[in-house]
Amino acid sequence: MRSNNVFRTLMAGSIATMMAMAAFSLSASDGGDAGGSGAATADAAGKPLDIAKATPKGQLKNPYQDSDKTVVDEGRKLYMRASCNGCHGGSGGGGMCPPLSNETWVYGGDDDTLFRLIAEGSDALQKDGYSRKGRENVVGPMPPHGAIVKTGDDMWKIITFIRANYRGSEAKKYGGEGAAK
């Protein structure tokens, strides 16, 4: 019991340190961006959740093309490393959880929505005002992965891998007319 308490105290301490560091890096980037276009706060080297918070809705855009085999391959490795395959299958075809490769996009199929969903998870996304529009065969919450996927750049590579696995019509690849949010 006693060692358990010590463990908790240690955990609480390190979480506090992490939060302090996050607050520091946020204020540092705010200062550096004074008068700027806002692009600096969305630096892809930053953490996915910081990027999502710093960027207005609808403006997150994947810099990569899924015709770029090198990026797709890196994305596949990152997807496996983050264990996305455990729920969505090795090439995103679904399994216990919805497929990522079909025409149905639960909240929308645009880059911005996918980035936020993966980083924040579905509960936080819904609190941000998004609702389920598309209906997959499996309906359930997706846990946040914004701390598991290390950088915005890694996140875009994973999304590029998802784009490369897409098996529906070209018109609905990015959510079609439902993409506007």
Q: Which is nearer to ligand HEC, 14 or 154 (CB)?
A: 154
Compute the distance between CA of residue 158 and CA of residue 160 in angstroms, rounded to an integer.
Answer: 5
How many residues comprise the chain? Answer: 181
- Stretch in the footprint of ligand HEC (CB under 6 A) among 3-11, 16-24, 37-45, 81-89: 81-89
98 binds ligand HEC (CB under 6 A): yes
Q: Which residue is nearest to ligand HEC (CB)?
A: 84
- Residue entry with tokens 């997807």: 79
| Inter-CA distances, 22 with 16, 50, 161, Å | 10, 9, 29
93 binds ligand HEC (CB under 6 A): no
49 binds ligand HEC (CB under 6 A): no
152 binds ligand HEC (CB under 6 A): no
Type and span of the H or E element at 70: helix 69-81
Compute the distance between CA of residue 88 and CA of residue 138 in angstroms, rounded to an integer.
Answer: 11
149 binds ligand HEC (CB under 6 A): yes
Comparing CA positions, the residue from 140, 80, 72, 156 lying closest to residue 106 is 140
Amino acid at 54: A
Check: CB of residue 60 under 8 Å from CB of residue 51: yes
Q: Which is nearer to ligand HEC, 13 or 140 (CB)?
A: 140
Q: Which is nearer to ligand HEC, 49 or 162 (CB)?
A: 162
Comparing CA positions, the residue from 97, 86, 93 lying closest to residue 148 is 86
- Stretch in the footprint of ligand HEC (CB under 6 A) among 22-30, 45-53, 101-109, 164-172: 101-109
- Stretch in the footprint of ligand HEC (CB under 6 A) among 1-9, 20-28, 37-45, 93-101: 93-101
Binding site for ligand HEC (CB under 6 A): 79, 82-84, 86-88, 97-98, 100, 104-106, 114, 117-118, 122, 132, 134, 136, 139-143, 145, 149, 158, 162
